[in-house]
Chain A
Amino acid sequence: DTGVSQNPRHKITKRGQNVTFRCDPISEHNRLYWYRQTLGQGPEFLTYFQNEAQLEKSRLLSDRFSAERPKGSFSTLEIQRTEQGDSAMYLCATRDTGELFFGEGSRLTVL
């Protein structure tokens, strides 16, 4: 257990529905990252925050995706109008000055 908590761990939804994932970081870590991992691939960077500011977004993050980190604490990743191609593991990681600590991920299955 790295101390990074993600919920829900699994989500099954129908195409077109909206889903939201939550990440609770290690409390003193000011940087928070979202990655997406599809089957058989390594994680791909989506976005990251320093405190409440979203500093960078990947081209993978289409306009159906939105991430927030109010008050620089927990973060949410929302996917609107889900598509089957969104099926993946969504990983959250946090960092202070050293290494990244990853949560166990939220697995999304879009039917």
Chain B
Amino acid sequence: AQSVTQPDIHITVSEGASLELRCNYSYGATPYLFWYVQSPGQGLQLLLKYFSGDTLVQGIKGFEAEFKRSQSSFNLRKPSVHWSDAAEYFCAVGARDSSYKLIFGSGTRLLVRP
């Protein structure tokens, strides 16, 4: 079955500290991979995506993610967290076909300590 696992429901980091959010997926083949962010009452905003090529992808707001095929992982990182990064983060996989249908993980809520 296709699925996305985000093992951390909540993560708390201090402002200025580094961040890593974990994502593992189960899929028949290498899917498209995405990270989205959702602030309270807001829709989803795309942070970055991996389709092919370089396995380290850069996104907006200083985020990056690394695709590791052997581990079926796509972890999100940021070297220095800002208070405005507090939000919910969702990892998603998408079919490599015309549907572009996404399967989302259950999310990780990031809290930032001042």
Contact = CB atoms under 8 A, between A and B. Distances in A.
Interface of A: 2, 4, 31, 33, 35, 40-45, 48, 55-56, 91, 93, 95, 99-100, 102-105
A57 B103 CA distance: 14
B101 A43 contact: no
A43 B44 contact: yes
B42 to A, nearest CB: 6
Interface residues of B, number: 20
A91 B90 CA distance: 14
Contacts, number: 48
Interface stretch (B12-20, B73-81, B104-112): B104-112
B65 interface: no
Contacts of A40: 106-107
Contact of B102 (A31, A45, A56, A103): A45
B104 A104 contact: no
B105 A100 contact: no
